[in-house]
Amino acid sequence: MKMITVLSISFFLAACTQNPPTSSQPVDEKTLAETRNVATQLVSTLGAALKKEIATNGAASAIGVCNVAAPEIAASLSQQTNWQVGRVGTRARNPNNQPNDWQQAALNTFAQRAAQGEKFEQMETYSVSQVDNKPTLLYAKAIGLQPMCVQCHGQSAQISADVKARLLALYPADKAIDYNVGELRGAVVIVRPL
């Protein structure tokens, strides 16, 4: 748990870096493929854990997966890769996980691309920036709201009372509701030294 906390703090501090200088340095396909693979691992591992918890114990219990297991999955991937791996949302459930300027720009780009009909499954953006005087890949992969997600992120009037009570207990300032299936929910974000 201590390692997870340290990694979470490290990711949070790095996420606070505003507007790092960008570079025109190209990113090779191997680096992009490795980065995409880690983003996919985060989404698929979290999705499987959520599906299992919803099927076994219901949506209110599954909130604990996003609250506890999601940061643990991201921390594990961060530890395995020595990168910073996490998620940000278009509307924050956790007020300590607001997107930084680069992440917000990525989310805005994803929303524009979605409005033009592009599918989230293929949507990514990246740039190379100088972080601590080292070239660093900043990568974001779009996350669209899936049907199972409306139980906790859907329209307020359709969220069950037990889910609302659990959300209120864990996230009293929750803004991550009133989404529709297929809407942009957020992004997997990765900070990777090159």
Model confidence at 19: pLDDT above 80: no
How far is C-alpha 10 from the chain's CA centre? 16
Whether the per-residue pLDDT at 4 is higher than 60: the answer is: no
The pLDDT, as a whole number, for residue 96 is 87
Q: What is the pLDDT of residue 10?
A: 39
Over residues 79-108, the mean pLDDT reads 95
pLDDT at 9: 37
pLDDT in tens, 132-183: 999 999 999 999 999 999 999 999 999 999 999 999 999 999 999 999 999 9
Q: Which residues contact 143 (CB under 8 A, 6 or more apart)?
A: 43, 87, 120, 184, 185, 186, 187, 188
pLDDT average, residue stretch 66-70? 92
According to the model, what pLDDT value does residue 111 have?
97
Entry pTM: 0.85
Q: What whole-number percentage of the chain has pLDDT above 90? A: 82
